[in-house]
Amino acid sequence: MEFRTRPVAYGSVGWHETVRLRDAVLRTPLGLAFSKAELEQEASQLHLGLYAGTTLAGVVVLVPPTSDSRIWKLRQMAVAPAFRGKRGGATLIAAAEREMRDQDAPEVMLHARESAVGFYTGHGYLAEDRVFEEVTIAHRCMWKTLDPTPPASVHEDLQEKTPLAETVNRSAIDI
């Protein structure tokens, strides 16, 4: 299946669609819902949509570093059930890492659900041992060091071959 990724502007119709997908995948099954305040905080975050044709198949959100920190955070990774196992998640995470590399991010972190730790490990992320609870379920912090963006010609070539061949070590998120 051919997927494409593109940025989604906060507050746009497309963004509301991504919120509905995140709600269905990441919140409703836990008996939770997004609060207005929670969503308002996302204005400064970067939203990437995964599309199969015109259909939204997945989403991920990137949080730029604050003040002196240079570490980005990857959160809210979700692929719609009908599109799982078709490399949509791999396409999304490669696009997210490309975006962060383009912005000279040295490192990314995330809070992974225990059930998704294997997915991130497969993409070069290292998990901390400590398990903690977030949105009522067990999570672990994961990290990855991002290599610098390759030269333009190589970069374009890699883009056509998602997922990227990663050579990384550490990185992380929160969901």
Ligand X SMILES: CC(C)(COP(=O)(O)OP(=O)(O)OC[C@H]1O[C@@H](n2cnc3c(N)ncnc32)[C@H](O)[C@@H]1OP(=O)(O)O)[C@@H](O)C(=O)NCCC(=O)NCCS
Identity of residue 103: Q
Q: Minimum distance from CB of 152 to ligand X (Å)?
A: 26
Tokens encoding 129: 């041992």
Report the distance separating Cα 59 and Cα 51, nearest Å.
9
Q: Minimum distance from CB of 49 to ligand X (Å)?
A: 14
Residue 23, classified by CB atoms within 10 Å of its CB into exposed (0-12), middle (13-18) or buried (19+), is middle
Of residues 84 through 143, those in contact with ligand X by CB under 6 A are 84-90, 112-113, 115-116, 118-119, 122
Q: Which of 74, 71, 72, 70 is nearest to 60 (CA)?
A: 74
Q: Is 162 in the site for ligand X (CB under 6 A)?
A: no
Q: Minimum distance from CB of 32 to ligand X (Å)?
A: 13
Q: Is 22 in the site for ligand X (CB under 6 A)?
A: no
Identity of residue 19: V
Residue nearest to ligand X (CB): 89
Which of left, alpha, beta for 110 (phi over 0: left; psi -120 to 50: alpha)?
beta
Q: Minimum distance from CB of 1 to ligand X (Å)?
A: 10
Of residues 63 through 82, those in contact with ligand X by CB under 6 A are 77-79
Q: Is 49 in the site for ligand X (CB under 6 A)?
A: no
Report the distance separating Cα 29 and Cα 132, nearest Å.
19
The count of chain residues that interact with ligand X, using the rule CB under 6 A, is: 20
Q: Which spans of this chain sit near ligand X (rule: CB under 6 A)?
A: 25-26, 77-79, 84-90, 112-113, 115-116, 118-119, 122, 175
